[in-house]
Amino acid sequence: MKLPFHTLDVFTATRFGGNPLAVVLDAADLDSAQMQAIAREFNLSETVFVLPPEVPSHSARVRIFTPTREMSFAGHPTIGTAILLAERKSRGENGDGDALLVLELGIGAVRVGVRMRSGMPSFAEFDAPKLPMRAGQLQHLEKLAAGLGLIPSEIGFENHRPTCYSASNAFAFVPVASREALDRASVHGAAWTAAFEDQGFVGAYLYTRQCVHNSAAFNVRMFAPGAGIPEDPATGSAAVCFAGVIKDLDDLPDGTHKRLIEQGYFMGRPSQIALTLVVENEKLTTVRIGGQAVRVTSGEIEI
């Protein structure tokens, strides 16, 4: 059996930046073990398998795997898969067009809008299927710092202190005082395990206001070694949760707020995630994730 696949770089307008994604099409005859084996073979942060939808009016059923496990939801697979399917259905990679797709993910049906314009990488955007909420307690500051190879005084700025939020996937959010300290952070073996893995988080999301570009609001890094991802170039599901951090700690007023997030710069894979937050009656009511994607390779995988 031979199955077609494509790889895309997601949350970037330039090939060899952003977060790589593999998308395997016509995957209905694969079982879960085969999908996991293929994801390990690609060894990217996520690999997507596209199956026929359970609801005929929907666009596709999508299963998402890291190299070690299946995920019910992830951001860059949602963006990349929607762009690939929209381009294949409408006009390839040239010309103008708009599409609305409904992808059946493990978390439920997600509507994704895709904007295709001649000479430009396609852009996709979706409303998060679940809003972020607080999720448990983090270890004390000294333990978190040890797990990241930092000193306690380098963690925190303004009123931002370490927190944890979940929107299907739970992340630890660690504010870092400077980009210099952010660049020095790393996963520190047993100290990391004690600080983060034992708490059940997908990963640790470190952020600072010191950015590469003036248009960005935050520069971030995300470590998830327990999920087979030593460091992720762009993490849409964590950005969904990060909206809760921003709303609560930056005390956003009612209205629509846009934030551009930089990620992957330390890895040499610059990524830009467009985050939109809508606050009504002092509550976060909508979180929207957007980004571009470009196709890189295509071929067949033999099973």
So which residues are the catalytic ones? Answer: 46
Give the whole-angstrom CA distance, residue 10 versus residue 263. Answer: 12
Is the sign of the CA dihedral 71, 105, 19, 2 positive or negative?
Answer: positive
Q: Residue 224: what are its φ and ψ, rounded to 5°?
A: -145, 60
Burial class (CB in 10 A: 0-12, 13-18, 19+), 212: exposed
CB distance 95 to 60 below 8 Å: no
CB distance 162 to 142 below 8 Å: no
Pair type for strands 60-65 and 203-208: unpaired
Q: Report the candidate in 157, 188, 187, 191 with the shortest Cα–Cα distance to residue 175.
A: 157
In the structure encoding, which two tokens stand for residue 96, read together?
């103008």
State the greatest distance between any 2 C-alpha atoms of the chain, in Å, as a whole number. 56
Give the whole-angstrom CA distance, residue 69 versus residue 36. Answer: 7
Residues 6-37: b if buried by 16+ CB within 10 A, e if exposed:
bbbbbbbbeeebbbbbbbbbebeebeeeebbe
Residue 6, amino acid: H
Residue 4, amino acid: P
Give the whole-angstrom CA distance, residue 179 versus residue 219. Answer: 8
